[in-house]
Amino acid sequence: MSKQDGSGRLYSPPGADDTGAHILHVDMDAFFVAVETLDDPSLAGKPVVIAHRDGRSVVSSASYEARRFGVRSAMPLGMALQRCPQALVVPPTYERYRETSARVMDIFRSITPLVEPLSIDEAFLDVRGVRRLWGSPGEVASLIRRRVKEEIGITCSVGGAATKHVAKMASTASKPNGRLIIPAARTQEFLDPRPAGSMWGVGPKAAESLAARAIRTIRDVRHTPVGTLSRILGSAQAQRVHELANGRDPRGVETERVEKSVSHEETFAHDVSDVEFLNAEILRLADRVAVRLRRGGLEAGGVAIKLRFADFQTITRSQSLSEPTAVGYRIGRLGRELLAGVDMRAAVRLIGVRAERLVPAGSAALALWDDDGEWKQVEGALDQLSERFGTGSITRATHLRADGRRPPERPPEESD
């Protein structure tokens, strides 16, 4: 099925069985670094960190040479430089990344119309209908890697499998610059020995909780009763993880993705302990979330807030709304209520607001009266003014800092 090279990377040799592996997951290798290296070839083979050079910056991407020192995306730049003092810090050029991503996605869509972008540097493809044009799934994977290298000048890793979950795990196992195809009949053989923490949706904390109970591999997860997993992970996640451990994942490639949540976050230049200021930030972020909801014709059935403290511990709190809404004031009000229930044991480094359980606008049953009627008029007027004078030209007074300026936006990060 696969071979392993000296670095531990798994790969499929030419002609390997690819029966039933019609879903491909394509992931660019250290994408931001790769794009910067196109513009500056002297960066090739060196430990490179993509980040702004300031005291609060986080790593957006790191070359594999830097990753060998333990540098990872979302790590504070100061910590990254402690681990790899010789790293070259390159400021990000996001417009170049977006342009290059669009070209990569165009290559995918020239091969199959069934493409589901996951982020700026990865996508799922369903290739079951293009065999006569391009060959078997393994041959399509090789074609994609070749075209991305020849036409863009960067490398990618491709995983193929019968399900999205296994395809994504396969691409990760083949990185960098690899191809790993898992035939449908050998799905469980591939999954069983792999760490439980390598599963999609099992984060470091969940993996630690599982390991504390001697559940270390996917085989262990598969052999653990769902009831036991529920006590460790919660009922919803336990059922999902157990299904994935058994190779069951019914999700198909979605060419028109429906957003499941809309969120905005803010990383502060200095840690914040002022609860009044944090409340104002929640309302500001809630307004930004609401604008995106209204533009997308959506309403939120629930609200969540996210807090990252100075020690980097991150927590979330969420609650359902009595009725779906796209009104920033109501989203912000619930966000403030959630904040009031948080034990503010330390200063806050990052705060975020997320709208969840999205539904099409107007799909809920109409009430006899609308408690949000006046706020809808106010925010609708703000939308019209923004369209006329530009986004952000009109804002609530509570959104401004003491010096009259809005806080800076946090740059995006590359997926690992």
Residues assigned a catalytic role: 122
Closest CA to 168 of 118, 208, 218: 118
DSSP 62: E
Give the separation between CA 359 and CA 364, rounded to whole angstroms. 8
C-alpha span between 245 and 263 (Å, rounded): 30
**How far, in whole angstroms, is CA 249 from its chain's centroid?**
19
Closest CA to 281 of 312, 318, 307, 309: 307
d(CA 125, CA 106): 12
> How many other CB atoms are found less than 10 A from the CB of residue 316?
11
Query: 220 a known binding residue?
Result: no
How far is residue 270's CA from residue 267's CA, in Å, rounded to a whole number? 9
Percentages helix, strand, coil for the chain, rounded to the nearest 5? Answer: 40, 20, 40
Please indicate if the annotation marks 27 as binding a ligand. Answer: yes
| CA distance linking residue 210 with residue 220, whole number of Å | 9
Sequential DSSP letters for 159-225: EEESSHHHHHHHHHHH-SS-EEE--GGGHHHHHTTSBGGGSTT--HHHHHHHHTTT--BHHHHHTS-
HEC sequence for 83-148: HCCCCEEECCCHHHHHHHHHHHHHHHHHHCCCEEEEECCEEEEECCCCHHHHCCHHHHHHHHHHHH
Could you tell me which residues are annotated as the binding site?
27, 121
Binding residues for Mg(2+): 27, 121
